[in-house]
Chain A
């Protein structure tokens, strides 16, 4: 009798990978069954299966521990991505398809002739090269300019998808300014404001125009065009009412509203050339030139569109007659609930036009909206709030923003780490002047972050050293050392202490230098933010005393940068050795722009991080250190 095979006497145990694949249900069917049968009968394998499961549990716990807390502000992330995608889509529309694709397209059309010519390989290759060159030339592959029409289309899409909302009223506020370009004086002079309220229920429109000198006109009508003439008359009552431009606009019944429809109206009269689109920071500018000698006297029209959202920002008409720009800026566009007060504006039987009727005056905006820096001016109150925030260092890397609002008030909104910090900020803001709302949250109070407005300066990049390092992880640091560890060790050892003390000193030194570098960077960042918030355009109307306050904040940051970098230099000089430092004089450059400052601060922060924090990669320490010293000298001056 043959002896039974060994595998029948002692069935083979499951290997580790079979075991895990079995638990995951990933074995092929027959093996699945036999593994199951084996596990049913084998204690040893069953106990190993439990071990594997325990290993999985362990791993999953560890993984959860290392993950950053789910971002409390995921809603803004989605919005940010939506905007990034829109920018990407528009850029890819402007770009031609990749060369390979064009070649494929070409090849599929001429497959047969190509096959016929395939024997003459060289000829084919040459023709491919020539074709590619020609294709690239004729399809304008270098042209990455954004098309004005595409931007306009998207702006319209934004408008129709956001407004009007069913059952609500849509309120549009427009500020009218005249900018005199003749005297190179780019500051706008306020002419008046226009408010248009559209009711989705009665489809009536309430309009109210108010000139800077106090003249007013209100009406509730079916079609705004009916009252275009008196509206224009009020808005331009300050000397321009008789100009040929206003005459022409009146005769065409043009409504001075900032909307794509009104812009198309304008454009339809007399575009005399190709539209030009360009990007200026966070704004697309679309120029539509008019035919020369157009009876309207319009030289060109300009539409500014937010490059992130494609919301319209302003519409300008350039007049040939007096070489000035009439700028219509959209200060707010919002959908509001149809309150009873609001409904009264559109009550039937009262559809009259004419002088102001107190009974039908417009209710206050139920919810003011934040304005971007581009379409608001800085006020004295804004400066004083910024100053108060500055005093408690809320401008140093914290997510605190100051918003100018559509109703002229201010809003401080943001997210801080603890309620103690919030109390400090609230306390500091008590002394600030003017109508102010403070909405500072701690993370647990925010459901998804939709309560937070995006920054009033959409084009400003986020500080690199801020956000990403805040969520720093420790995933992979064992085995790495500080590149300058040995130098530091030698330095402190010279001063004569025990090895343990030296190590402690090295750690303290590294910690301090990294913290200081970050502080320098944050101050430079605050300076940059200050420059954007209180740009010359925004502060044009402010008094010298108020401007002085802004200047004071600026000088504070500069002084801090100087102090901290001097401290850094003092700390580093003995380490870097005399040969590095002696050559670099404490030169006073002065008058660095905040851009340069920020760039330098960013560079020193990066250098310090590469030199004094652990990383497996060893940079060129000597050159990095020299460069760092130079950068610090610059910053310190």
Chain B
């Protein structure tokens, strides 16, 4: 008797819509799974471009929202890895241009540390980081991006796919970047 009162889902939404909703849920689960797998390496790359962990996380999540839209539309993605890196790269570049620069600074960092704990170790760490940041500064944008993507394990073809370069150019940028980086240290 009671059964009659309970609305049949398909009757309310129509079978097609119910199916769509179910599909969407499955798709969400798949995207979350991919996110868990790919997050650390994408985050590493995004972080180097935008310079803040919070913003990098946000960009990486945005990339996966785009992936969701893309998959939902049944759009073709040939190489998922380079597709994700490309989206993260483009979002990060947009972000940096929009923001004007990386805002993180020595003063802020110091201020923050002094709010928390031992200033002595912080200073040491700071000097170390600053030195590395200086060496990276010697590279141009292309060289830095090529090196960072290679460090994440992408092949030359994939790097070229992300940055819009030929594999040959990638090898040239890598060689030049390594040389400059070594020279700056």
Contact = CB atoms under 8 A, between A and B. Distances in A.
Interface of A: 15-21, 24, 26, 51-52, 54-56, 58-60, 62-63, 65-68, 70-71, 74, 77-78, 81-82, 84-86, 88-89, 92-93, 97, 101, 149-150, 153-154, 156-157, 225, 252-253, 261, 264-265, 267-269, 417-418, 467-480, 482, 507, 510-511, 514-515, 518, 609-610, 612-617
A614 B5 CA distance: 67
A612 B104 contact: no
Most interface-central of A55, A59, A97, A609 (chain B CB within 10 A): A59
Contacts, number: 223
B117 A469 contact: no
A468 B24 contact: no
Nearest to A91: B65
A37 to B, nearest CB: 19
B47 A59 contact: no
Given A20-B174, A20-B175, A613-B108, A476 B51 contact: yes
Given A89-B68, A264-B7, A475-B133, A514 B148 contact: no
Given A85-B64, A268-B7, A478-B137, A511 B35 contact: no
Contact of B156 (A24, A60, A85, A97): A24
A20 B143 CA distance: 14
A78 B35 contact: yes
A568 to B, nearest CB: 14
11 contacts: A17-B172, A59-B147, A149-B12, A253-B2, A265-B5, A268-B5, A468-B52, A471-B54, A475-B133, A476-B101, A617-B100
A101 B130 CA distance: 49
Interface in B13-70: 13, 18, 21, 24-25, 27-28, 31-32, 35-36, 39-40, 44, 47-48, 51-55, 57, 61, 64-65, 68-69
A199 to B, nearest CB: 20
B48 A475 contact: yes
Interface of B is mostly: helix
Given A62-B132, A88-B68, A614 B106 contact: yes
A268 B7 CA distance: 7
Nearest to B173: A17
Contacts of A101: 73
Nearest to A254: B5
Contact of B175 (A19, A482, A612, A617): A19
A487 to B, nearest CB: 16
Given A153-B21, A613-B103, A472 B112 contact: yes
B6 interface: yes
Contacts of B174: 17, 20
Interface size on B, as a range, is 35 or more
Given A86-B28, A477-B133, A515-B114, A92 B5 contact: no
Contact of A63 (B6, B48, B116): B48
Closest 9 CB pairs of A and B: A468-B54, A471-B53, A16-B175, A613-B105, A472-B104, A617-B100, A55-B178, A17-B171, A21-B171
A18 B179 CA distance: 14
B151 interface: yes
Contact of B25 (A62, A92, A157): A157
A51 B178 CA distance: 10
B156 A616 contact: no
B105 A26 contact: no
B125 to A, nearest CB: 9
B105 A615 contact: yes
Given A26-B171, A78-B36, A85-B32, A471 B52 contact: yes
